[in-house]
């Protein structure tokens, strides 16, 4: 059951029960993993990735599917015709079919662009990464329209090379390579095409030698939900994220082996995160959510939550921190307690 609320008026708008639509085609959805629920650009339709069994037998191949839930009308399931594929697909929502299958991860770029026939192509290349490089700009900057940014709500994931590397419990564990990663639901501006979980990822500058060892074993990244490890370094989009990665690198012990969620406000002025030093793993019984000014890297505000159920379940790349696109509201989704906390009235004027 999906409940849709009007946050401004504080009332329930509608209930959507997709059970019958899923049952009719033997489909299933994953509501806790790294595949985000998303709104169509006009706000009339919710979409969630699904899969369809091709036979009622263990180990049977599955087909990609997409659950569509309109605010008015019945839920329906779009089905792909390619059984067994694990590659991401781009859906033609209006036509009810798969438009394209992505056979390989997108080439690294600062921005991407939708083409008229539903393809996604790089639109702005990555600049060279040097110690003195300017910040590339967060997701709210740059061209608009059919383009979208590399920087989406996701996580910073520390990954340890295979050899000559301290264990995560070692105080010198900062030799891990920090990867940015997101599984983003991206719609074309006209709402015709969408990709439910576009993999966006790349490493930040690391300790010399660590990245070279890591890229020789790309399965280390795929095991954490990222595309295969690459050596294409990403420039920091802003001082806020640079500060987050710096604090992550200074963490020690078991704090170091934690995926840190990140999410930018709609105007790009604030970056929300949960740092390991603030009890991200829930062991302290409290969880801190930190807001940083993206222009300066300064901490603007902190929120604190009580830990329910003895810890927090943080899927590697899913959007556990979500900003409202129109109002200064931030939501945190705790999959252990099934609780959603929303903070409102957040100022972005600092």
Distance (Å) of CA 239 to CA 13, 97, 128: 39, 41, 17
Q: Rounded to 5 degrees, what are φ and ψ at 149? A: -90, 155
In this predicted structure, the answer to whether residue 87 has a pLDDT above a threshold of 80 is no
Categorize the per-residue pLDDT at 118 as very low, low, confident or very high, splitting at 50, 70 and 90: very high
pLDDT at 120: 94
Average pLDDT, the chain: 77
Read off the pLDDT of residues 136-158 as tens digits, 9 standing for 90 and up.
666 554 445 688 999 998 888 88
Quick count: other Cβ atoms within 10 Å of Cβ 273?
A: 24
**Residue 293 predicted with pLDDT over 90:** yes
In this predicted model, which residue has the larger pLDDT, 169 or 177?
Answer: 177
Backbone angles phi, psi at 52, to 5 degrees: -120, 130
- Structural domain boundaries of the chain? 1-86, 102-343
Query: Distance between CA atoms of 124 and 286, rounded to whole angstroms?
Result: 41
Q: Is the pTM of this model over 0.75?
A: yes
Q: What is the pLDDT of residues 15-41, one digit of tens each?
A: 888 888 888 887 777 554 455 678 899
Extract the tokens encoding 151. 């920087």
**What is the mean predicted confidence (pLDDT) over 311-326?**
61
Which of 21-30, 60-69, 94-103, 238-247 is predicted least confidently? 21-30
Other Cβ atoms within 10 Å of 99 Cβ, number? 18
pLDDT at residue 112, rounded to an integer: 94
Rg (the chain; Cα; Å) = 20
300 has a pLDDT exceeding 60: yes
Confidence of residue 281 (pLDDT cuts 50, 70, 90): low
Q: What's the mean pLDDT in 159-163?
A: 73
pLDDT in tens, 221-270: 888 778 888 878 888 889 999 999 888 877 766 666 778 889 998 888 99
How far apart (Å, rounded) are the C-alpha atoms in residues 151 and 39? 18
- Dihedral pair phi/psi, residue 55, rounded to 5°: -160, 150
């Amino acid at each position: 059951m999906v409940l849709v609320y009007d946050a401004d008026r504080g009332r329930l708008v509608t209930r959507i029960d997709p059970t019958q639509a899923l049952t009719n085609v033997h489909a299933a959805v994953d509501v806790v993993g790294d595949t985000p629920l998303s709104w169509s650009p006009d706000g009339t339709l919710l979409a969630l990735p699904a899969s369809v069994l091709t036979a009622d037998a263990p180990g049977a191949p599955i087909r990609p599917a997409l659950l569509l839930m309109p605010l008015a009308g019945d839920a329906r399931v779009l089905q792909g015709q390619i059984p067994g594929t694990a590659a991401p697909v781009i859906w033609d929502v209006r036509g009810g079919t798969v438009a394209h299958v992505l056979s390989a991860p997108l080439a690294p770029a600062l921005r991407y662009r939708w083409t008229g026939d539903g393809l996604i192509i790089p639109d702005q290349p990555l600049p060279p990464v040097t110690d003195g490089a300017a910040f590339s700009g967060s997701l709210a900057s740059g061209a608009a329209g059919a383009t979208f940014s590399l920087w989406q709500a996701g996580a910073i994931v520390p990954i340890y090379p295979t050899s000559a590397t301290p264990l995560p419990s070692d105080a010198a564990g900062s030799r891990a390579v920090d990867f940015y990663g997101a599984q983003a639901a991206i719609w074309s501006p006209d709402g015709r095409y969408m990709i439910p979980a576009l993999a966006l990822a790349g490493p930040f500058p690391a300790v010399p030698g660590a990245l070279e060892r890591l890229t020789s074993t790309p399965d280390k990244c795929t095991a954490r939900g990222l595309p295969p490890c690459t050596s294409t370094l990403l420039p920091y989009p802003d001082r806020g994220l640079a500060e987050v990665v710096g604090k992550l690198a200074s963490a020690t012990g078991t704090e170091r082996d934690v995926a840190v969620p990140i999410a930018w406000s709609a105007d790009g002025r604030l970056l929300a995160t949960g740092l390991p030093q603030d009890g991200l793993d829930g062991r302290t019984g409290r969880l801190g959510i930190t807001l940083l000014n993206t222009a300066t890297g300064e901490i603007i505000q902190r929120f604190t939550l009580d830990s329910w159920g003895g810890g927090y379940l943080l899927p590697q790349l899913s959007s556990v921190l979500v900003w409202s696109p129109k109002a200064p509201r931030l939501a945190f989704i705790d999959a252990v307690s099934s609780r959603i906390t929303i903070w409102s009235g957040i100022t972005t004027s600092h």
